[in-house]
Amino acid sequence: MTLPLFEAGGDPGPNFAALLSVAGLTPPVPASPTDQLNIVHATTVVAIRCSEGVVMAGDRRATAGNLISHRSIEKVFPADRHSGVAIAGAAGPAMEMVRLFQLQLEHYEKVEGKALSLDGKANQLGMMVRNNLPAALQGFAVVPLFAGYDTTRDVGRLFQYDVTGGRYEEREYAVMGSGSLHAGTVIKLGYQPNASTDTMIDLAVSALYRTAEEDAATGGPDLVRGIYPVVAVLSVDGFQRVEDTEVEHRFRDLLVSLNNEQANTR
């Protein structure tokens, strides 16, 4: 395969998405809104600021209508070393968007010799969501969360989007997906400014557990199969996924705490 050649005025430069478009490799949009497709949806994801950066978490269930299509899908991914993205909405297009986003950031860094700024990454993801609008109008909506550690400001930052590509920076937390109302309520009641990472991980775990009790599309911890939500921390040390054994331990501690509360109220 030979590399494409461009004239001076048509060189896409470090923009990988533009490179795909110029080369005619843009993923196709479904042709008709009447196409009967079994669309798999991913929910629920959360991002919470903490003293060291940002905690991101997502449940593992994917649904197709009223059916559970997957029990162990992953919804939280590293975008590059210091940023991550969590997906909600149509699972297939969302995962494709994440892969393209990862390639875009890697391509930019190789061409420019430095990483794109956190604001630039957030804007790039917003453009991808905006480009997906025709598909969203046909039922393939993708609504990600984006978070990262801003090395120029030494602080964690998080962003959420709407289907039109609108980018909104949040100061404390952000939630997305079918269980966002329940998860947002739990986080709002338990959020503490500048709380430790451990405290915010526990809050994210609690939010997903309580959301799973109310929202059928959100999966809670599966103690039988050993499936637990994906939890990651974005700090000055970069994107670090919390081990499943630690997440399991935190869920078991939560269950013990809830059982004790119920026993005390009897």
Rounded distance between C-alpha atoms, residue 266 and residue 22, angstroms = 67
Closest CA to 186 of 57, 75, 63, 83: 57
- What Å distances lie between residue 49 and 31, 191, 232, CA to CA? 40, 9, 12
Q: What is the H or E stretch that residue 257 is in?
A: helix 244-265
Out of 2, 43, 44, 63, which one is annotated catalytic? 43
Q: Which residues of 46-62 are buried (b: 16+ CB within 10 A; e: fewer)?
A: bbbbbebbbbbbbbbbb
43 a catalytic residue = yes
Element (H, E) at 55: strand 54-58
Q: What is the DSSP letter of 222?
A: B
The shares of helix, strand and coil residues in the chain, as percent rounded to the nearest 5, are: 40, 25, 40
Which amino acid, 256?
Answer: V
Catalytically active residues, by annotation: 43
